[in-house]
Structure 1
């Protein structure tokens, strides 16, 4: 287990030795420096959990040291050491953010108590951050829209896999919500009180990714001026999410495999193994089976990651979720409560193929909120890419016209039949596609004698979908 590290900065050598001895007796790892400048260099190189600094020293004084410590890491607690004549300076330091001050000559019990309280505050602040993160992760599950059978299966899998330590591979196109799923898994797991650390492997330059993941020691490469903890160590006791892992180069895949198998890692520039306790969640939009065949992805790593695969369907395959997703995004984007979406705009949203998936839907609604006028979002408020298919559809009749002629009732019957067939006889979806309510559709199915194969005309057999629209409880009238 890592020892708590305390940095002592004081120009009095005898005091430094006394403090070093007393703190070491308490089990702390102690670093010492004779000046503020030297102390800050040591802090950059070695890091620390707490700093004890004299308030008055040649060169940089304690207040300046504290300011620089805050810039390096705001989470490091600072305790000021002060002689009788510098109490005012110590009080000034506390107003500026120091945890406390200790007067020289110090009382050993007072020193121990003050340090313990400072470290408890640091731990409490970290725990608060983690708890807020855990609460957000739990909310992430609640925010997963799952009206469609495919997404309901995903939610059920999240609930089943979360309590375990199993590695999960999340598959899906860009924009389907892979990180949201990963956060939900973490939030429901025993590691929820630990950190959730996300890394986009495709967004970090290849030459920096190893250092980002595993950390580095001072001097490992040009610009490495201090030791740095990587994402795996930062996720200690929690979960690390490796997004777009399919973009990772093979030599780094070997290191990931070692982390999974041995629970150890080496920082860049150091061959001393560091034990890590993290759960790995990974995601990709690539076909890893093909990547294995082409030599881009290691087969052994694939099998270590693919213990429980979760395949998130693209939005075009879960159109039942579009209405609920739209309402969710409008609310989260701060849309007025009175704002509605007119039927034509809704039909455009529900029939568009969404190559950018859920992320594209959110962006489209954000744009619509900017450009809409009045109390409704119209088709013209949506991006051109979404409007164009509707305009093309409106310009062409979806049924062919025979030479002998065709009655309006025949056209209506043909349209209803095609809509039902297109949506696998799901009446709610077919009704939305046609721009009518489900009860109106049932009425017209009765009127034309349309029945699902094996059913009866107009039978209400949509067991998996709730009636929608303001007249959901009305009688079957057009």
Structure 2
């Protein structure tokens, strides 16, 4: 948050509100200082500006005019003592997200900030998807602020400034195709074709014709290959390690001779395309195994780039999750979905994500569908919890499982994973979570059929676990519990009595 006002008392009041809301904030006393801070690329980017309109040097309207010239300006909430309708209309036309009259009520300001952050996250995701569709993705569209990505991003930007062939290696789901799009989008070929071929998805008998085309025959016309279509642009060969040996030989010949494959009636044409190849296997190992041509490997390995797995760039995990949440919430018509609860953030951070960003995207999509409240909770990620239950659960997750929401808030904040664009108002349940013992239900909507000795649990134990979980999940609201379990309230109370769950204790929960 950037607080802009020439009144020091107002700045102190706003800073206090930001601290109580849980946002990080900076204060400046003039419009020019605000513009300098927003343009300072060496510091953390600003997500929301709370701007006074009347200032002595550069006033708020001039700041709004300058921000409109920026490619991705922060959201601006204007507040001023001049609360006329004409002033509000002028500010909104100039690009302000919201307009408040001093002194703004804290709750009104909180709602405005929350909405501004949600809109910013959604706009960023929409911009990334639009750039992907228009083949104009740049490195600015990637969420990659983790230290492990710094060298990778630098190499990508250097590669984009030349026509050098690039080999992108990394585990499945790390975003290699996005990275290839960014190299193309920042190169001088950005307005030229970007042609992508998945070498592992095309049958071996068809991949050669798909890539190199075929001359005309008596029964079939000539067919241009993907290499011809990529002329003057970029050719992306995904999963290059799956390329059949015969096709490897032809590709090596094209790169060696520097000419396009000849079709009927065509003259020799110089090959003018940038080649980017991606793989989730180490090509050098494939060469040692004798399944990948050594000469082709050396032609592809001119400029190798390694994309680290998501577990090595945990600083990007929560911003990525927030971006996916914003997109899926909009797609599924869930405008009241505000974000991730702290204990859900702890769960995501504790998981190792073997399938990387793709797995995180799918997990968030599923959670958005399952979520019944305003925040994604741990039980909205049942598959992640199952995977954690199958192995050793990190201490961070144990803390909020056993000690409840208060411990979760404390320990989650101590991890240091603070997403600058996604500090938001969060609701944390006051009641502690049930511990996962031998007979009580595990968290997040899953029931274990086996006990700790590997034996089947009795039906009455499973029923008790289901009832306990339902009571916990719906906060002791008996009508809702009965409705969801498809039983009458009298039956529910009888089961509560049979299982020793005191009704008074539940109602107080």
Q: Normalising TM by the smaller chain, what interval? A: 0.5 to 0.7
1:378 corresponds to? 377
Q: State the Cα distance separating 1:376 from its structure 2 match.
A: 1.3
Task: Say if 2:358 is the partner of 1:359.
Answer: yes
Query: Which of the numbers 241, 253, 256 marks the counterpart of 1:258?
Result: 253
Corresponding position of 1:297: 292
Structure 2 CA distance, aligned partners of 1:313 and 1:344?
A: 26
Aligned twin of 1:173: 171
Residue in 1 that maps onto 2:221: 226
Please tell me whether the aligned partners of residues 197 and 234 of structure 1 are also in contact (alpha carbons under 8 angstroms): yes
Q: Deviations over 1:363-392 (max 9, x none)?
A: 111111111102111111114244441687
Relative to 1, partners in 2 of residues 1:371 and 1:140: Cα closer, same or farther, differing over 3 Å? farther
Native 8 Å contact 2:160 2:183 kept in 1: yes
Q: Is the 8 A contact 2:311 2:356 kept in 1?
A: yes
CA shift in 2, pair 1:354/1:397, >3 Å? closer
TM-score normalised according to structure 1 size: 0.54
Match of 2:199 among 189, 201, 212: 201
Aligned-residue CA RMSD (Å): 3.7
Distance 1:309 1:302 in 2: 11
SS, match of residue 283 in structure 1 = strand
More RCO (CA 8 Å, sep 6+): 2
CA distance in 2, matches of 1:463, 1:270: 61
Per the normalisation by structure 2, the TM-score is: 0.50
Rg larger for? 1
Deviations 1:411-470 (A, max 9, x none): 99xxxxxxxxxxxxxxxxxx99973324xx8xxxxxxxxxxxxxxxxxxxx899979956
CA contact (8 A) 2:396 2:412 kept: no
**For the residues of structure 2 that align with 1:191 and 1:225, how far apart are their CA atoms?**
33
> Could you tell me whether the CA contact under 8 Å between 1:210 and 1:268 is conserved in 2?
no
2:224 is equivalent to residue 242 of structure 1 = no
Give yes or no for contact 1:437–1:468 (8 Å, CA) kept in 2: no
Q: Unmatched 5+ residue regions in structure 1?
A: 1-131, 400-410, 413-430, 442-461, 472-478
Do the aligned partners of 1:258 and 1:265 also contact (CA within 8 Å) in 2? no
1:313 deviation in Å? 0.5
Shift of 1:328: 1.3
Runs of 4+ aligned structure 1 residues displaced above 3 Å come to: 132-140, 267-275, 385-388, 390-399, 431-436, 462-471
Instruction: Map 1:113-152; keep pairs closer than 5 Å.
Output: 136-152=134-150
How many aligned residue pairs are there?
Answer: 288
Aligned mates of 1:219, 1:434 — CA distance in 2: 73
Out of 301, 317, 320, the position equivalent to 1:306 is: 301
Q: CA deviation at 1:204?
A: 0.4
Residue 277 of structure 2 aligns to a residue whose secondary structure is: strand
What is the CA distance between 1:348 and its match in structure 2? 1.5
> Deviations 1:31-90 (Å, cap 9, x if unpaired)?
xxxxxxxxxxxxxxxxxxxxxxxxxxxxxxxxxxxxxxxxxxxxxxxxxxxxxxxxxxxx
In the other structure, the counterpart of 1:154 is 152
Report SS of the residue matched to 2:142: coil
Please, which runs of 5 or more residues in structure 2 have no aligned partner?
1-129, 401-406, 426-509
Change (3 A) 1:189 1:134: farther
Q: 8 Å contact 2:137–2:186 — kept in the other structure? A: no
Q: Distance in 1 between matches of 2:216 and 2:359?
A: 42
Q: Which one of 283, 287, 290 corresponds to residue 278 of structure 2?
A: 283
